[in-house]
Amino acid sequence: MTEVRWLDDREEQAWRSLMAMQEGLAEFIDRQLRHRCGLSHADYQVLAHLSEAAEPLRAFELGRLLRWEKSRLSQHLTRMEKRGLVRRERCETDQRGWSIAITAEGTELIEAAAPQHVTDIREVVVDHLTKAELEALTAIGDKVRARLAAQDPER
Amino acid sequence: MTEVRWLDDREEQAWRSLMAMQEGLAEFIDRQLRHRCGLSHADYQVLAHLSEAAEPLRAFELGRLLRWEKSRLSQHLTRMEKRGLVRRERCETDQRGWSIAITAEGTELIEAAAPQHVTDIREVVVDHLTKAELEALTAIGDKVRARLAAQDPER
DNA sequence: CGCAAGTTGTTAACGTGTCAACCAGATGGG
DNA sequence: CCCATCTGGTTGACACGTTAACAACTTGCG
């Protein structure tokens, strides 16, 4: 085993800063949505995809968009269906599958939640970064995802 | 209610990039640690704080460092204690409380995990960003945390 | 066609996080 | 000193994610 290259001060600081931001941000977003709209961030993302799609989505497509495990999606949809936010409809062309449709209540909720959500995002991130920082953020995110993708398959 | 200022393309791209990075990174870090060391990221952070501290930490101090709910910490410590990674010791100066000590096994595990963890961090983040990007990341993280702190109390 | 292999989705079991209620010991004002 | 209040920590009920096994259907190759 080769020598370990520990992080220097700058690197450590950047990493800690990233991790702390990550935790705080996730917690904040989820709390705001729950508190004001009764939606978890997960609920929000499901409804956002469904309402953007206009047509009902096949469950596996939704799963791909969300990058969720199929069992997670299945159970989450069951809970959301019980709450009346979505509806499962048998798929006509494939007897195994379902189309997931957003209900009127679901539409109402996401349309109420979206503006507040955007406001929150502006409030804690977007509006307080410079143009250069926003671009850096995009670039960093893209690079990291590229590295993750490079790691994943060859694991 | 005032007009909603939706995100423009740049802003949306930055936000999505951040969210995607966040999800992917958290998942990757946790998977690597579990797979190679049998530690969750949560386990790792507990052990990291304990091993840095040299002395056993009071549970509430550990909770403050981790920013964890006390019940989460309590249950997590119970599980880690069962696995022999930490040990609860009655606090002498306060009969309500406990000091949390890392065990020999815990020390062994974290010392094996740390180099790999650093390597992972380099592999997917630190080593592939420019110096400017690292600085931007630090600055962005700090700004966002400042905004979060500003939101939290006045909620 | 007929069957093996792949795809779509559900379920059960388990680990983990949150919330609220609770207990016990510490603390401080009367 | 005594009681109200605060603090440190645990517990139980519930929400949620992961894994593995499974059922039902589709696809494609011989």
**Cβ–Cβ below 8 Å for A144 and B125:** yes
- For A54, list phi and psi in degrees, rounded to 5: 70, -50
CA neighbor of A60 nearest in space, from A98, A91, A34 = A98
What's the pLDDT band for B1 if we cut at 50, 70, 90? low
- For A3, list phi and psi in degrees, rounded to 5: -60, 140
| Residue A54 pLDDT | 82
Determine contact, residues A21/B141, Cβ cutoff 8 Å. yes
Q: What is the DSSP string of A70-127?
A: HHHHHHHHHHHHHTTSEEEEE-SS-TT-EEEEE-HHHHHHHHHHHHHHHHHHHHHTGG
* Domain regions of chain B by residue span: 12-124
| Residue A153 pLDDT | 59
Tell me how far apart the alpha carbons of residues A17 and A9 are, in angstroms, rounded to a whole number: 12
pLDDT tens for chain A, 155 residues: list them: 678 899 999 999 999 999 999 999 999 999 999 999 999 999 999 999 999 998 999 999 999 999 999 999 999 999 999 999 999 999 999 999 999 999 999 999 999 999 999 999 999 999 999 999 999 999 999 999 999 998 875 44
∠ CA B31-A135-B152, nearest 5°, is: 65
The Cβ-side half-sphere exposure at B66, using a 13 Å CA radius, reads 26
Q: What is the pLDDT of residues B49-96, one digit of tens each?
A: 999 998 999 999 999 999 999 999 999 999 999 999 999 999 999 999
Q: What is the pLDDT of residues B99-142, one digit of tens each?
A: 999 999 999 999 999 999 999 999 999 999 999 999 999 999 99
User: In sequence order, what are the residues at sequence separation of 6 or more whose Cβ sits closer than 8 angstroms to the Cβ of residue A75?
Assistant: none
What's the pLDDT band for B153 if we cut at 50, 70, 90? low
Out of B6, B13, B24, whose CB is closest to A138? B13
Q: Whole-model pTM?
A: 0.92
CATH class of segment(s) A12-124: mainly alpha
Q: What stretches of chain B show up as alpha helix (H) in DSSP? A: 9-37, 41-53, 59-66, 70-82, 104-124, 131-151
- Among residues 32-61 of chain B, which lie with CB inside 8 Å of chain A? none
Establish whether the CB of A75 is closer than 7 Å to any nucleic acid atom in strand D.
Answer: yes
What's the pLDDT band for B155 if we cut at 50, 70, 90? very low
Tracing tokens 């109420």 back to the chain, one arrives at A112
Establish whether the CB of B91 is closer than 7 Å to any nucleic acid atom in strand D.
Answer: yes
Identify the DSSP state of B94.
Answer: -
| Residue A151 pLDDT | 81
